[in-house]
Structure 1
Amino acid sequence: MHGNSPKTLRQDLLKQRKEFASGNGYASTKTSLIGGLNHFLANEGQTIRSIALYWPIQDEIDLRPTLLSWAEDDAHRRLSLPYARLDKHLDFFEWQAGDALIPSAHGVPEPNPENATRPQLTPDCILIPCVGWSSSVVSGKAHYWRLGYGGGYFDRTLAQLRKDNPTLICMGIGFDWQKLDDSQWAAQTHDEPLDMLLTESGLLR
């Protein structure tokens, strides 16, 4: 385990991401990754009606313009943002550009659950930013795993959502250089796998 602590690993990865975001190669990497998302939306987004995205923090890649364009192409499409409950589960509420948001306990902008004009939604697809990620092969099938910020919100939420919606698509968003090997980090039994992982190299599934 890196530095005997997942916390230390996260801190190192976040520092690397900050440096990467200010580097010369970031713009082209971002363009490639967003191109991959547009390809996914063009080919598989036709049957998706609701996508849960994230509000970018700490140098996470910003997908909002791309997803707003996707939603504007069809009046039946909806976007949502997560709201962190006290029990460390997430609810998703509709989001539109210009909506007033409220800061979470961690300082992340969130939708206001009291806003009656923005109902709670059940997403068909969830996009989740990765601090790091790994892959494993079980019975000849590849699995992808996300290292997040350590709160466990997404793992708890995905476990329940997958029971309610077996066709849910959970897509991690990350960079090639964030891939971790077993000596650095390995998924735990409570970690929920990703259905897909999007990096600048393309979509892994």
Structure 2
Amino acid sequence: MCRGLATLPATCLKSAKDIKHKISFLLQKPEPQATDQKQIKEKADAVAAAAASASAKMPTQAEVEKWKESFSYVMSSQKGRKVFGQFLKSEFSEENLDFWVACEDYKKSTPSEMATKAKKLYQQHVETDAPNEVNLDAATREETRQNVQNACPSCFNVAQKTIYTLMEKDSYRRFLKSKLIQNLSLTQSTDADEKKKNCNYAQTKQTLTGGA
């Protein structure tokens, strides 16, 4: 038998060795079913992580109830400001919240960067015909203009307080009556209303998480 193999041409022996090598390689490859299961598990883990992240962005019922008690609770909460900001966008007045947040950030500026930031903030929100102009009376606008010339941590205080009061007395009242806050108010409901409540909550969740 061995003598017979020895008499075969070299090309035949090489082909036999190649076939043997390919068979060994195929035997070592993972089964398609096992590979598919691994991919399915990885995809499921990714979906679960995304769902957990989206849920973390949603306010709890306790948080929503706090927001309904006082505007200060809304503004002191990162989630509260985000939800309120979504409402302001629907009213095309998000510049008010943007200005208030920018003022808070400005107060944290170092002395060396305060002058530059003050000028930019003034040009963005305060001066007449600014890109995101807020609703200030002429006296407050002029006072702020003068303050910016000698930038200090408190130079926007009057303007910021004016906008805060405007949001509290005007936008916040409509916010409490809006569909957005009502959908977030997860109060006890009857079984008949449960499906509708869940649908509204899902729609609101999609709005706040950017479709996540």
Identify the structure with the greater helix proportion: 2
TM-score (norm 2): 0.21
More strand by share: 1
TM-score scaled by structure 1? 0.21
* Greater Rg over alpha carbons, structure: 2
